[in-house]
A and B are shown apart, each in its own frame.
Chain A
Amino acid sequence: MKNRLREHREGRGWSQGELARRLGVSRQTINAVETDKYDPSLPLALRLARLFGAPVQELFHDDWEPEE
């Protein structure tokens, strides 16, 4: 799943460490999410959306489309 986490984080002028501190996770986790190596849990995705004031689908997206 692709995401725009890095863009949002840098838009706030936060380092990975700062975002990790605000979320209570490790920097390694932020790095893994940003590089598409780890899809966060739903609670963490919701926290990220709340922190950036954006809907989850604005932060995370995939190419799946429902069949007609």
Chain B
Amino acid sequence: MVDGAAKPWWSGRTKMIGLALFGGLVGYASADATMSLVGHGGRFAALAGAEAALLIALIYVVMGAFVGLAALSPRIGAALLNVEDADEVREEAASLRLSGLGCLLLGASLAAFALGGPGGPVAPVPAAVLGFATLLLAALVSWAILRRADELMRAVSRDTAVAAYYLYFAVMGSWAVLAHLGFAAPPRMIDLLAALWGLTLLATFWVAGRRGMLRARS
């Protein structure tokens, strides 16, 4: 945007609040649909303890869909993402496409592992094949993203890895200690997976916030 030009109504604080509300509504509707499947009386009610993992997988998928949609249409992207204008979406389109794909793959991977667990609708072998295949593809996409990244994004990536490590240490370490001492039930394997995916996501938002990337720019 040219400095000093009148700002459109869908910008600044209005845009950030609007996006938060929209994301909240989409998230609520998706979570409600997921919980109706895995909750009491749902189709996958026998899927023990996978609710958190599925909800986290859903967040990745919704984020991937948003970012992918934004990359395909710069005009929509300018409205959905924290960018200055549609030109910035065009400049970053390749990275955004890869980021969207990466999120979708990571979400699909966790969902496959979760749905292949005890009582799940997917048999363990296809769940493992699908989960590891999408995870491998996500790793390749991440490598491609890092190759394109400039120094800010590389710094964000490093900071996220460090923050995620300390979050795992604090959350899973504390849980393990409490379980070892008999104060809490021990974590299940699906809890560990949910924590790996979920805390990495939390670390990403934390670091992005610290770097000013969540402040309204347009």
Residues of A within 8 A of B (CB): 10, 15-17, 24-29, 31-32, 35, 37-38, 40-41, 44
Stretch among B33-41, B72-80, B86-94, B132-140 lining the A interface: B86-94
Choose the segment among B63-71, B108-116, B118-126, B205-213 that binds chain A (4+ C-beta atoms closer than 8 Å): B205-213
Is B179 part of the binding interface, using a Cβ–Cβ cutoff of 8 Å? no
Q: Is there an interface contact between B211 and A17, defined as CB atoms closer than 8 Å? A: no
A41 to B2, CA, bound (A): 27
Name 9 interchain pairs, CB-CB below 8 A, sorted by A: A10-B3, A24-B150, A27-B84, A29-B151, A32-B152, A32-B213, A37-B212, A37-B213, A40-B151
B162 to chain A, nearest CB (A): 16
Chain B residues lying within 8 Å of A41, measured Cβ to Cβ, are 151
**A-contact 0/1 string along B185-218, CB 8 Å cutoff:** 0000000000000000000000000111101010
A26 with B84: CB separation less than 8 A: no
In the complex, what residues of B have CB within 8 A of residue A37's CB?
210-213
B146 close to chain A: CB less than 8 A:
no
Indicate if the CB atoms of B84 and A44 lie closer than 8 Å. Answer: no
Q: How far is the CB of A12 from chain B (nearest CB, A)?
A: 12
Q: Is the CB of B91 within 8 A of A38?
A: no
| Cβ-defined partner of A25 (8 Å) among B83, B152, B217 | B152
A25–B150 CB distance below 8 A: yes
Which residue of chain A lies nearest to B210 when distances are taken between CB atoms in the complex? A37
Contacts of B92 in A (CB 8 A): 26
CB-contact partner of B91 in A15, A26, A35, under 8 A: A26
- Minimum Cβ distance to chain A for residue B136 (Å): 28
**Binary contact readout B25-63 vs A (1 if CB under 8 angstroms, 0 otherwise):** 000000000000000000000000000000000000000
A16 to B88, CA, bound (A): 10
How far apart sit A37 and B211, CA to CA, in the bound complex (Å)?
A: 5
| Residues in chain B near residue A35, CB distance under 8 A | 212, 215
Distance (Å) between the CB of B68 and the closest chain A CB?
19
The reply to whether B2 and A17 contact each other, CB–CB distance below 8 Å, is: no
Complexed CA–CA distance, A29 and B151 (Å): 8
